[in-house]
Amino acid sequence: MTSAPTIPDITLNNGVPIPQLGFGTFQIEPKDTGESVLAALETGYRHIDTAEMYGNEKEVGQAVRASGLDRSDVFVTSKLNNGFHAYGDALTAFTRSLDDLGMEYLDLFLVHWPMPAVGDYTETWRAMEEIYRSGRVKAIGVSNFQAAHLRRLFEETSVVPAVNQIEVHPYLVQDELRAFNADHGIATEAWSPIAKGKVLHDPVITAIAERVDRTPAQVTLRWALQRGDIVFPKSVTRSRVEENIRLFDFELTPEDVAGIAALDRGERTGPDPDTFNWVP
Ligand SMILES: NC(=O)C1=CN([C@@H]2O[C@H](COP(=O)(O)OP(=O)(O)OC[C@H]3O[C@@H](n4cnc5c(N)ncnc54)[C@H](OP(=O)(O)O)[C@@H]3O)[C@@H](O)[C@H]2O)C=CC1
Ligand SMILES: O=C(O)C(=O)[C@@H](O)[C@H](O)C(=O)CO
């Protein structure tokens, strides 16, 4: 294949740079994780998104080491699982994630879900602040937080999250929450950016793909990048891993971007953060 493209960085609210395109690892079996993450790193990805919930942190860490890249050249995110929201549990879970990854530090650690009916996420966030102060993570953030959850953090805690990782794709454009994040200096990370494949046969997207001579996945990912979001598509298929990084040699018009955003139908592929209270 041709040489790896240069992936632009976004600067987080504490000055830490994060590659705007990364590689997602949800539903990659531990036995397949090493090969998939290594393929991504070989292809040029330098940002890996994992989570304790995914059960593949050990294999992600092994792949980063096997790549031969310097640890400092790979941006690694993990997430606090839902059963560990109590203060002390969160501290222990973070150390366990580091141990499982075999790393001295994380680039980004997120509260995976707010779990509003189960516990108090402000207590969890105070533990995140302590982890941040320990210097073992470069940035802390949240995932699946609604504006109301963030407002409580602003009122009752000190550190503004660096990112909010939320479900965003053409069928769930989340413009209100994305604008709220931006207004507070929080970067939006868009999970399931191709809606797990559901948007790839949409006629609006396939027509643009045909015109610009790219695939529907490339058009959808490019749309997210042009809107300023951070994305990390997942694939265990080498050709798709290569396809999904080839986003930096074409551009969508403002009309394309607006036309794809108009596909919004408020459709989630995953759980609703206001009611999701599942503890694995
Ligand atoms: N914070 C949170 O709550 C959540 C975070 N995430 C994060 O976001 C990442 C991405 O989201 P995810 O849910 O995995 O879904 P994606 O939107 O990335 O879609 C992944 C699916 O699309 C397929 N696919 C990938 N690339 C292509 C392509 N070019 N053409 C056709 N099909 C393709 C994959 O198949 P195959 O693998 O077979 O090639 C897989 O079935 C996750 O891996 C995870 O890191 C996801 C969900 C929730
Ligand atoms: O992938 C993630 O990060 C998730 O949180 C999802 O797995 C989510 O928990 C889910 O889809 C549960 O059915």
Is the pLDDT at 208 greater than 70? The verdict is yes
SS (H, E, C) the chain: CCCCCCCCEEECCCCCEEECECEECCCCCHHHHHHHHHHHHHHCCCEEECCHHHCCHHHHHHHHHHCCCCHHHCEEEEEECHHHCCHHHHHHHHHHHHHHHCCCCEEEEEECCCCCCCCCHHHHHHHHHHHHHCCCEEEEEEECCCHHHHHHHHHHCCCCCCEEEEECECCECCHHHHHHHHHCCCEEEEECCCHHHCCCCCHHHHHHHHHHCCCHHHHHHHHHHHCCCEECCCCCCHHHHHHCCCCCCCCCCHHHHHHHHCCCCCCCCCCCCCCCCCCC
Instruction: Say if strands 9-11 and 17-19 run parallel, antiparallel, or are unpaired.
Output: antiparallel
Q: Look at residue 1 and tell me whether its pLDDT is greater than 80.
A: no
Number of domains into which the chain is organized: 1
What is the tens place of the pLDDT at every residue in 225-257? 999 999 999 999 999 999 999 999 999 999 999
- Catalytic-role residue among 45, 54, 121, 132: 54
119 is written with which tokens? 């516990």
In a domain, 204, yes or no: no
pTM surpassing 0.95? yes
Q: How confident is the model at residue 2 (pLDDT cuts 50, 70, 90)?
A: low
Residues 6+ apart with CB under 8 A from 272: none
Quick check: CB of 220 below 6 Å from ligand 1? no
Is 210 a domain residue?
no
Q: Which ligand is nearest to the CA of 142?
A: 1
Is 165 part of any domain? yes
Q: Identify the burial level of 82 via C-beta atoms within 10 angstroms of its C-beta, where 0-12 means exposed, 13-18 middle and 19 or more buried.
A: buried
For the cut 70, the answer to whether the pLDDT of residue 202 exceeds it is yes
Q: Residue 33: inside a domain, yes or no?
A: yes
Select from 28, 49, 50, 53 the residue to mutate for testing ligand 2; criterion: most ligand atoms less than 8 Å from CB: 53
Q: What is the CATH number of the domain that holds 146?
A: 3.20.20.100
CA distance 242 to 237: 9
What does R_g of the chain's alpha carbons equal in angstroms? 18
Residue 54 designated active-site: yes
pLDDT for the residue 3: 82
C-alpha 123 – ligand 1 centre gap (Å): 31
In-domain check, residue 149: yes
Domain-embedded: residue 132: yes
Ligand 1 and 172: CB distance under 6 A: no
| pLDDT at residue 220 is higher than 70 | yes
> Do the beta carbons of residue 163 and residue 14 sit within 8 Å?
no
Residues annotated within a binding site: 112
Higher local confidence (pLDDT), 119 or 14: 14
**Contact yes or no for 71/40 (Cβ under 8 A):** no
In a domain, 263, yes or no: no
Structure tokens at 64: 């980063």
Chain-centroid distance of CA 13 in Å reads: 16
214 Cβ below 6 A of ligand 1: no
CB 169 within 8 A of CB 270: no
Decide if 200 is inside a domain: no
Domain of 151 in residue numbering reads as 11-194+227-248
Task: Indicate the annotated binding residues for substrate.
Answer: 112
ipTM of the complex as predicted: 0.98
271 lines ligand 2 (CB under 6 A): yes
Q: Which atom of ligand 2 is nearest to the CA of 26?
A: 1
